[in-house]
Structure 1
Amino acid sequence: MTDQPADDQLRGLVRQALADAGISQAEVARQLGASTKHLSHMLTGRAHLTLTWAEGILGLCGMNLVISVQPDQTRSAA
C-alpha cells in the first residue's frame, strides 16, 4: 500500500484514465453536466471527488470503479 491518501490515489487514477482515453476535461464536464471549473477542482483536490463522480468519469473512459476492502496486513501480523 502507498503512503498517499486514498482520495489522492483516486484522483490520480481518474486523471490517468482520462489521459489514457484521450478525453478532455471539457468533454467530461459537458457529458456529465458539470462546469469545467468544478471538474478541474475535483481532479486537483480543491473540491471533493466523490465515488459517484469518479464512477461517472471512469465510465466515460470505458472503465468501471471497483472498491475492495481487505484486512490491513500490518495490523494482522502483530
Structure 2
Amino acid sequence: MTAEASLREQVRAAIAATGTSQAAIARQLGVTQKHLSHMLTGRAPLTLTWAEHILAAIGMHIEVAVYAQEGQIS
C-alpha cells in the first residue's frame, strides 16, 4: 500500500468515526463535496496539507512517523 493510500484510508476512517458528513466537511473547507469525495477515493490527489485541513475540520490532527525498512539501515 502506498503512503497516499494509507493516508486516504486513515482519513476516511477518522471521518467515519466522528460521524461527520462529507458535505459538512466540504462546506467548512470551501470545496465541493464531489471534490472532497474524489480526494478520499483516489480520483484526486490527497496531499498531506489537505489531509491536515480535513482532519482539523473534524477535530483531529496528523502525526507523521518515519521507519527504516528491514535491511535498509543498520
Query: Which residue is equivalent to 2:67?
Result: 70
Residue 40, structure 1, aligned to residue 73, structure 2: no
Normalised by the size of structure 2, how large is the TM-score? 0.90
Q: For the Cα contact (< 8 Å) 2:29–2:57, is it kept in 1? A: no
The one-letter amino acid of 1:41's match is H
Q: CA RMSD in A?
A: 1.2
Residue 61, structure 1, aligned to residue 66, structure 2: no
The one-letter amino acid of 1:6's match is A
Residue 23, structure 1, aligned to residue 48, structure 2: no
Structure 1 residues 6-48: Cα deviation after superposition (integer angstroms, max 9, x where no partner)? 1110000000000001101000000000011110100000000
Normalised by the size of structure 1, how large is the TM-score? 0.86
- Structure 2 CA distance for aligned equivalents of residues 8 and 70 of structure 1: 17
Unaligned runs of 5+ in 1: none
Q: For the Cα contact (< 8 Å) 2:23–2:33, is it kept in 1? A: yes
Unaligned runs of 5+ in 2: none
- Structure 1 CA distance for aligned equivalents of residues 48 and 15 of structure 2: 16
Between 34-43 and 68-77, the greater mean CA deviation after superposition = 68-77
Query: Which residue is equivalent to 2:5?
Result: 8
The number of aligned residues is: 74
The one-letter amino acid of 1:40's match is S
Identity of aligned residues (%): 53
